[in-house]
Amino acid sequence: MIMTDLSIQQKRERTTKIISNILNLNVIPKVVFELMKILDNPNTTAHELNKIISKDQALVTKILSVANSPLYGLQRKVSTIDFAILVLGFKELKSIISVISISDALKNKTDKYLNQKEFMLHSYMVGSASKKIAKDMGFQNNGEAFIAGFLHDIGISIVHRYLHSNFAMIYDLMETQKLSFRDAEIEVNGMTHEEIGSFLLEKWNFPAEICDAVLNHHNPGKAQTSPSMAAIVSVADYMTQSLKVGELKLDKDNHLDDYTLGKFNFEKELDAEKFAAKYKDLFWEQLEFVRFLN
């Protein structure tokens, strides 16, 4: 039963307190924080970077899997971290390491409420599509678009792992009272998964553009820092439903806001369906390269 004597604000405060405690947990491996630090240092050498990455063989395997995926479309197989550093560069490696480490840290067991394999596939598909769309639109920071797309639903994963009883109540409200996922979230947690995800990413010192895009990926028109990136993620998210590849059942009521329609020159969502069809091959190709998510 939901504690109906609590106001939405009280539920929000309770949820914020719980997720704030996540910051005190060692959810991100120390090697990742070490990597993030040296990747931001312009004086770091490729040798130093390779030395740290090589400490974690699981990370090495996953980096190489991503480097060889259609996400980058490299003509030559990347078989070593040295070569990955050479062809991808520090900026792209930072993107890859960020999403791998957080997805691993927040991974939970599959249950009737959330299928983890489907969730991670959805995240990767939205990240990949966001990067490609951003690149096609001439955005220089398409690597950040990948991160924003990959992590857009991180709040769902956080609630499922750390507030599991709340997630169960949200699911039950959707089933018994036919509430939308968003309305059920607010009823139980006092806030949405977008707010939860953005809150933690901000505390983990992710760039403001990424936090803003995650916060507003369902309402890009409300974004303060990066409405264009939020719109790209919103369209990529919508495309998984349109193409039926990597879609998330919780997104069944997903729609594009007026800002996003205008940004892409869509008169209506039917135009988005036609736009999505252009990326169909990209989505199906990505299905062959999701081993690093497991």
Going along the chain from its start, the domains and CATH numbers come out as 8-25+109-293 (1.10.3210.10), 28-105 (no CATH)
pLDDT at 285: 77
Distance CA 41, CA 86 (A): 17
The pTM assigned to this predicted structure is: 0.87
Nearest to 98 by CA among 161, 27, 36: 36
| First vs last C-alpha separation in the chain | 34
Instruction: Residue 266: name the closest of 252, 244, 258, 240 by CA.
Output: 258
For position 212, what pLDDT does the model report? 97
CB atoms closer than 10 angstroms to residue 132: 23
For the chain, which ranges sit under pLDDT 70? Answer: 1-5, 23-29, 288-294
Find the Cα–Cα–Cα–Cα dihedral 3, 116, 71, 129, rounded to 10°. Answer: -40
Under 8 Å CB-to-CB from 238, ≥6 apart: which residues? 254, 255, 256, 269, 272, 276
Following DSSP, what letter does each residue of 43-83 receive, concatenated? T--HHHHHHHHTT-HHHHHHHHHHHTSTTT--SS---SHHH
Residue 1 has a pLDDT of 43
Instruction: Give CA–CA dist 97/200, Å, rounded.
Output: 17
CB 284 within 8 A of CB 245: yes
Other C-beta atoms closer than 10 Å to the C-beta of 247 total: 21
**pLDDT value of residue 37:** 81
Are the C-beta atoms of 95 and 18 separated by less than 8 Å? no
DSSP code of 186? H
- Using an 8 Å Cβ cutoff, are 96 and 60 in contact? no
Q: What pLDDT does residue 232 have?
A: 97
The two tokens of residue 33 are: 């924080």
What is the rounded distance in angstroms from the CA atom of residue 119 to the CA atom of residue 36? Answer: 25
pLDDT at site 99: 78
